[in-house]
Amino acid sequence: GAGVSQTPSNKVTEKGKYVELRCDPISGHTALYWYRQSLGQGPEFLIYFQGTGAADDSGLPNDRFFAVRPEGSVSTLKIQRTERGDSAVYLCASSFSAGAGELFFGEGSRLTVL
């Protein structure tokens, strides 16, 4: 596609539920990133992929968070046993290659945990 596509754009869930957020990067981009942004804060790094493998997952806050990119294109961020503190906008970005230039961001998925 022309840009980074994220679905859903909004997700409301109850505490304890499981959530999946999807990201479709720009065609040809090998690096894919997940960030989380809370109100009034800068984006907080979670994980990035170079191809199919997670190159750096040091930003994942705990083992409830997991991300995959099985075919080196679309990625899914998975959150188990959601907590109210997980409420944020989850941003996905892609770039031609890791460390090779600017990241292009999607519109984000707003997650609200009640």
Q: Which two tokens stand for residue 104?
A: 């292009």
Residues 1, 28, 42, 53: which binds another protein (CB under 8 A)?
Answer: 42
Residues 31, 54, 60, 67: which binds another protein (CB under 8 A)?
Answer: 31
Q: Determine, following the binding rule CB under 8 A, whether residue 45 of this chain makes contact with another protein.
A: yes
| Least spacing, CB of residue 9 vs another protein, in Å | 11
In the bound state with another protein, the residue whose beta carbon lies nearer, of 81 and 93, is 93
| Least spacing, CB of residue 53 vs another protein, in Å | 12
Within 1-114, strands assigned E span 5-7, 10-13, 19-24, 31-37, 44-50, 53-56, 65-68, 75-79, 88-95, 104-105, 109-113
Spatial contact of 114 and 101, defined as CB atoms under 8 Å apart: no
Spatial contact of 109 and 9, defined as CB atoms under 8 Å apart: yes
Residues that bind another protein (CB under 8 A): 31, 33, 35, 41-45, 48, 50, 55-56, 59, 91, 93, 98-99, 101-108
